[in-house]
Structure formats: C-alpha cells, structure tokens
Amino acid sequence: MNLIQACIFGIVEGVTEFLPISSTGHLMLASRSMGIIQSEFVKSFEIAIQSGAILAVVILYWKELFKGLDVWKKILTAFLPTAVIGALLYKVIKTFFLGSISVVLWALFLGGIALIIFEIFHGEKEDSSDGLTSISYPQALIIGFFQSIAIIPGVSRAAATIVGGLAAGLKRKTIVEFSFLLAVPTMCAATALDLVKSAHAFKADQFLLLGVGFIVSFLVALLAIKFLLIFIKKHTFIPFGIYRILVAAVFWLKFK
C-alpha cells in the first residue's frame, strides 16, 4: 500500500461509514480492485481508519456527548451486545469474515433487499419516539443487538442500527443520530482491540499510512454526516438498498 492508496481508502471510509452501505465491505472491495493483498496490516488499517470518521462525530456532536450521563448510559447499553460478541468472535472475524469477498457481496445483496422490504412494510411511524432523550433502555438494547449483526462485513453497522431503531419505534432522524453516537465506543473499542493485538508487527512507514488514512477519513466523514442528515429529511433508505444490490451485482461480475 502507498500514500495514494491510503488516501483512497480514507475517502471510501469517510463516505461510507455512516451511510447504510457498509464501510468495511467497501474497503475490502476497494482493496481487491486495487490489487492489494488482504495482509494482517491491511485488515488492521481498514479497522483503524474508521476512528477518523468517528472523530468527525465527536467534533459535530460534542454537545450531545457531554450533555450528561443519560445519553451515555443508553449508548453503552446499545454497545454491550457488540462488545461481547466482537470480543468472543475476534479471531473468526479477522481470519474468515475480513478475508472473504463472497461474504461481503452476499451481505451487501441480502442487506439491500432487507432494507428495501423493511422500508416498504415498516418504515417510520407517526407515533415514533423523537429525540435522543426519548430513547428507552429496551430500545437501546434492541438497537445494540441489531448492531452486533454488523460484525459480518457487508452488513453495515449503520444499516443494522437504523433498521433496529426503526423496528424499535424511533424517528428516522433520531436513530441516525443515535447511530452516529453509538459508533464512538463501538469503533474506538474495535480499533483499540485490533491495535493492541497487531500494532507490534507494524513497520514505521505503516504508521504513516494509518495517519494519512485517518486524517482523510475524518475530513470526508464531516461532509458525509451532513449529507445524510439532509437526505433523510425527504427520502427513505430505499435508494441505499438499491445501491447495495447494484454494487453486489457489479462486483460479482467483476470478480467472477
């Protein structure tokens, strides 16, 4: 991997982290398209640069993050299922899931269909809970269990939490913002766990690549977050479902 490729990864991560289209899946597809071997460093790089996008959330939502313990308690409640499952299945995720393009393409395809069907038959209800403070602990836990499905690359953490939030009875804007905040402990924990286990094997120049990917993903994510908040005011998530299906189809043909 070189600096240009690190920048490309940063752009892909920044654009896709908070959209319901799977950042990890897109990073793996980008890696495969550029002929980059899925080495241990590349897998760690794809995890670590997500923290750049998370910093964008901290910058944009610092008031919500430091308002008080109530929102944080609900965020941590939602984080628990992923923390437990992710820790238990770390080796499986790193060695099998993160190395399989077939898993990504199937997850993108089936996830796209699920997103479309869910929006058609469920979507947002008029009496849905509105505002972060209106989220109950049972609703937070439901969202957390949905998020845990996203340990499978291609599922999309954003898509899983959004569907979970809508199913739990939240407004579209509320679950999107909660999904942003939930990403903070989730991705920080994932990055920390991976770096603790893998950083000792990195070379000096590889830390430079990590830094470049981090900065680029941060800057691009700032724009992506603002785009999504504007988009959901007038649109459903069906276009993202269609996009997922098309991407899966195109890359199936490409890699066949």
Least confident of 47-56, 113-122, 202-211, 216-225: 202-211
| Lookup: tokens for 249 | 């189809």
| Lookup: tokens for 63 | 């008031």
Residue 93: what pLDDT?
Answer: 67
Amino acid at 24: T
DSSP helix, strand, coil percent of the chain (3-state; round to 5): 80, 0, 20
What confidence category does residue 192 fall into, taking pLDDT thresholds of 50, 70 and 90?
confident
Query: pLDDT higher for 6 or 200?
Result: 6
What confidence category does residue 105 fall into, taking pLDDT thresholds of 50, 70 and 90?
very high
What confidence category does residue 12 fall into, taking pLDDT thresholds of 50, 70 and 90?
very high
Is residue 159 within 8 Å of 21, Cβ to Cβ?
Answer: yes
Average confidence (pLDDT) over 161-188 = 85
Residue 42: what pLDDT?
Answer: 78
pLDDT at 210 over 80: yes
Average confidence (pLDDT) over 145-167 = 88
What confidence category does residue 247 fall into, taking pLDDT thresholds of 50, 70 and 90?
very high
Candidates 185, 160, 234, 174; CA nearest to 75 is: 185
Q: Which residues contact 231 (CB under 8 A, 6 or more apart)?
A: none
pLDDT at 255 over 90: no
Residue 109: what pLDDT?
Answer: 95
| Lookup: tokens for 233 | 């005011």
pTM exceeding the 0.85 threshold for the entire prediction: no
Residue 200: what pLDDT?
Answer: 65
| Lookup: tokens for 243 | 């996009």
Residue 8: what pLDDT?
Answer: 92
pLDDT digits (tens, 9 = 90+) for 32-47: 888 887 777 777 787 7
Q: Map out the domains of the chain as residue ranges.
A: 3-255
What confidence category does residue 138 fall into, taking pLDDT thresholds of 50, 70 and 90?
very high
Residue 219: what pLDDT?
Answer: 94
Candidates 98, 93, 13; CA nearest to 51 is: 13
Residue 143: what pLDDT?
Answer: 92
Average pLDDT, the chain: 84
pLDDT digits (tens, 9 = 90+) for 15-74: 998 899 988 889 889 888 888 877 777 777 877 788 888 888 888 887 777 766 788 888
